[in-house]
A = this chain, B = another copy of it.
């Protein structure tokens, strides 16, 4: 397979390749290939690579649209997994989706498109291929969804991150984390809006600040290893469409609210860098702009937050655009009790069933979990 690379007609137009029955995402002719593509068409390093990317909690209260962190549980059920495999049956430079599974939610797999143009993993994989400058190989993707859709846990970002990471590793891990985030951002832009506060931590792990989009600048916020930061994630059986939650946002805000939220967001960043769990929690709880408009749209959310804080959580807010509620704790000791109280509150105040997961800060981000050697 590797030997075939040099023989492939890298300059031939995509239309000269045979069509397949599966939808295929081609390289856009308008896409301006980045510098990497000027180097030789990279050779594959593996026959297939499986990568995992974690769930992410975006916004974190006052960090609306610019702060997020990655979270994972011990069993890696809180994230998506993508296997990228070299597929000589496809036209070179293309991506296809061979399988979508969702072991814990069989109904979910059927809702996800196999069209790589409409699938987060497909779009990100194609963007990664372009960034790598791969012209002589094609990749098929098998996506295993561990995350529910529309839950506020960065489901689309996890698929995109795992796909970009798997494709990059397939060709020898040539891309920087920043490049991988850009590949994932192509997907986010198409699927859930131009924001990087899920995809950046899904790729890079830990806490990430999206400092600006022009130029696109990320700031990794390392928190001290000794900090035992945990998250109680409680997801009610309620689909909160991101578009609707966005529409609820105020278009204009008072400058006083701006100052109060900004100072809390700045305090959140300081608390992360200084390893101050209580500071992280209280800052996360302090959003006076977005949470007050969104929480009433999620039945029971206000009561759930109150229950979490009463039970000893250091802070609580809506994860991303919801409906998941996220509470911060230090260590897992009280996690189960807090989770129980939050689940109870969703039921008693919102008439919603909910499931809880206790997760830790995921410091690694998207990572390769298995590889298969190149076929000789």
B-contacting residues, A250-268, CB 8 Å: 250-255, 258-268
User: Which of A58-66, A93-101, A125-133 faces chain B?
Assistant: A58-66
This chain: copies in complex: 2
- The 4 tightest CB contacts between A and B, nearest first, are A66-B263, A211-B267, A252-B252, A262-B262
CB atoms of A266 and B209 under 8 A apart? yes
- Which residues does chain B contribute within 8 Å of A212, judged by CB atoms? 260, 263-264, 267, 286
CB atoms of B66 and A259 under 8 A apart? yes
25 chain-A/chain-B pairs, Cβ below 8 angstroms: A62-B262, A63-B262, A63-B266, A64-B262, A65-B259, A66-B259, A66-B262, A211-B264, A211-B266, A212-B263, A212-B267, A219-B267, A219-B270, A219-B271, A219-B279, A251-B255, A252-B254, A252-B255, A253-B253, A258-B258, A265-B265, A266-B266, A266-B268, A269-B269, A269-B270
Q: A261 CA to B64 CA in the complex, in Å?
A: 12
Interfacial residues, chain A to chain B (CB-CB below 8 A):
62-67, 209-212, 217, 219, 221, 249-255, 258-271, 273-274, 279, 283, 286, 289
- Which residues does chain B contribute within 8 Å of A266, judged by CB atoms? 63, 66-67, 209, 211, 262, 265-266, 268-269
Candidates B221, B250, B252; contact of A270 at CB < 8 Å: B221
